Amino acid sequence: MYGMQAERYECAQKCAKAGIDVPAPEASEAVLAGLREKLSDRTYLIAALKDWQNEMNSANEALGEIILESVDVVGATCIGVNSQKKFANIKFDVSIIDEAGQIQIHNVLVPMSVSPKCIMLGDHKQIPPMADEKLVEQCKKNSVDTELLSKSLFEKMYNEIPEANRVFLDTQYRMPGEMADILSAAFYDGKYKSFKGKRGLDSLAPWLTKKTLLLVDTSKEPDRRETQLKEGGFYNTLEAKTISEIINALLLHGDVSPKEIGVIPPYKAQVRTIAGLVGKNESLDETTVNEMVRTLDSFQGQERDLIFYSFTRSDSSRRKDQGRIGFMKELRRLNVAISRCKHMMILVGDYEYLCNCEKDVGEASEKKFSEFIKMMLAAVDKGSAEKISIREAGRRIRGEA
């Protein structure tokens, strides 16, 4: 009796795994026999499928090698081009390395080594390579030069190789020319030009501003301050609410598709705060919100019609000569944020605070950051941008202005 029960239990387990209805405990021997036959066939089919899959994988590898030998262009990661077996016997004529301005030397040397000619494309005025802090610290302790950990080989070579070996692509076709002019003066010695079709664009939110560059100022608001988390990072509730309200109004007016809106806060805590508020809009699902509100590093290489930027930082208790804005002083990150925009940009922050950062140490100084903010405010004076208070923004959102 025990043996029959054990057999029934084993049969039930196999049926469940094979996707066959499990027989009832009182099932007859005839039913069990039929199920055993089905299981035998199903097990055979599964085994046959696995064998076929293994054969196909082997065939695909062989086919892949044949295809690689016959194509003109192969795409791969920097490391993959030299670590994957399928590339082992291929001789390349030229290596084209994209985004070379943010690739560390030990990665970029790999594709450089597989061909006699190399073309590197990148912008060393944008996000630099991310250096491991512990590695940098160990190098410094052992008197090892850390220059090429935080600086790309592209940047070093661009500044040192003969002029005949480098070229500057001086015309941009993405963002409004009024924004590109600011970046040109700040980063590219005034040599950065814009396609004529990118000037004089209409606002995507005419009820809010007629300009394609809008600065929303929180300076006069008592609740404009940042909040610092114990585990690190900052968020700013007032800026988050303002951006959320503008997005809700944009969607209500039907001015722009949710997929063409990007929100780029510098801090992850601010990403979570804004996403939480924007996510309350019932017309947006979680995936759309997560694609809309992201960190700057996630937006590298992407673009949107409308970009929001939340400066987040505001704490007047810090003196002007103290550190006020943390890693935001790395201006190249702001360059990336602004250049993600195809049609319009809205920047929300405490401009009085941001204009008065005077700590001046090294290349990424807070003083230089404040000078950049003043350049944006100068664009307002020239009429190519507009600056409004957060209260004025609220009035325009409600249609009271």
Cβ neighbourhood burial of 4 (10 Å; 0-12, 13-18, 19+): exposed
User: Does residue 241 share a domain with residue 128?
Assistant: no
Extract the tokens encoding 325: 């804005």
Q: In whole angstroms, what is the distance from residue 5 CA to residue 391 CA? A: 77
Domain boundary, last residue among 125, 143, 165: 165
What's the token pair of residue 367? Answer: 């003083």
Q: Distance between CA 3 and CA 29 in Å, rounded?
A: 14
Burial of 269 (0-12, 13-18, 19+ CB in 10 A): buried
Is residue 267 located within the same domain as residue 285? yes
- The H or E element spanning position 181 is helix 177-187
- Which runs of consecutive H residues, i.e. helices, occur in 310-389? 331-338, 351-354, 366-382
d(CA 104, CA 124): 12
Same domain for 300 and 198? yes
Q: Do 153 and 256 belong together in one domain?
A: no
E strand or H helix that includes residue 317? none
Distance in angstroms (rounded) separating the CA atoms of residues 336 and 299: 8
Tell me, rounded to whole angstroms, the distance of Cα 317 from its chain centroid.
32
Quick one: 312 and 232 in the same domain?
yes
Rg (CA), the chain: 29
* pLDDT at res. 134: 86
H helices of 188-285, in order, are: 237-253, 268-278
Q: How many domains does the chain have?
A: 3
Residues 64 and 89 in one domain: no
Asked if residue 191 and residue 312 are part of one domain, the reply reads: yes
Residue 75 lies in a domain: no
Contact predicate 238/218, CB 8 Å: yes
**pLDDT score at 137:** 87
Each of the 401 residues of the chain gets a pLDDT tens digit; together they read 445 555 555 655 655 555 555 555 555 566 656 656 665 666 666 776 677 677 666 656 666 777 777 788 989 999 988 888 888 888 899 999 999 999 988 899 999 999 999 999 999 999 888 888 788 889 889 998 888 888 899 999 999 999 999 999 999 999 999 999 999 999 999 999 999 999 999 999 999 999 999 999 999 999 999 999 998 899 999 999 999 999 999 999 988 999 999 999 999 999 999 999 999 999 999 999 999 999 988 887 789 999 999 999 999 888 877 788 988 888 998 999 999 999 999 999 999 999 999 887 666 689 999 999 999 999 999 999 999 999 999 999 999 86
If asked whether residues 66 and 108 sit together in one domain, one would say no
Do residue 159 and residue 202 come from a single domain?
Answer: no
In order of 24, 207, 302, the CA distances from 12 in angstroms are 9, 67, 53
Distance CA 193, CA 184 (A): 7
CATH code, domain carrying 111: 3.40.50.300
3-state DSSP assignment of residue 306: strand
Identify whether residues 143 and 180 lie together within a single domain.
Answer: no
Is residue 61 assigned to a domain? yes
Are the beta carbons of 238 and 372 closer than 8 angstroms?
A: no
The answer to whether residue 295 sits within a structural domain is yes
- Whether residue 352 lies inside any domain: the answer is yes
Token pair 């957060």: residue: 390
> Can you give the pLDDT at residue 1?
46
| DSSP conformational letter for 204 | S
Per-residue burial over 245-264, b if 16 or more Cβ lie within 10 Å, else e, is: bbbbbbbeeebbebebbbbb
- The answer to whether 401 touches 209, Cβ cutoff 8 Å, is no
Give the E-state strand segments of 161-242 in sequence order: 171-172, 193-194, 213-217, 227-228, 234-235
Task: Write down the pTM of the prediction.
Answer: 0.79
pLDDT of residue 29: 63
- Domain final position from 165, 186, 201: 165
What would the two tokens of residue 277 be? 């508020």
Contacts of 65 (CB under 8 A, 6+ apart): 86
Domain-located, residue 153:
yes
Question: What is the spatial distance between Cα 224 and Cα 248, in angstroms, rounded to a whole number?
Answer: 21
Query: How far apart, in Å, are the Cα atoms of 202 and each of 81, 138, 223, 291, 306?
Result: 45, 52, 33, 25, 12
- Pairwise CA distance, residues 19 & 260, whole Å: 44
Q: Could you say which of 141, 165, 189 is where a domain stops?
A: 165
Q: Are residues 182 and 228 in the same domain?
A: yes
Token reading at 2: 């025990």
114: domain range?
Answer: 80-165
Is 28 part of any domain?
Answer: yes
Q: In this structure, is residue 18 part of a structural domain?
A: yes
Tokens 């239990």, located at residue: 9
Shared domain for 365 and 247, answered yes or no, is yes
Of 310, 323, 322, give the one whose Cα is nearest residue 350: 310
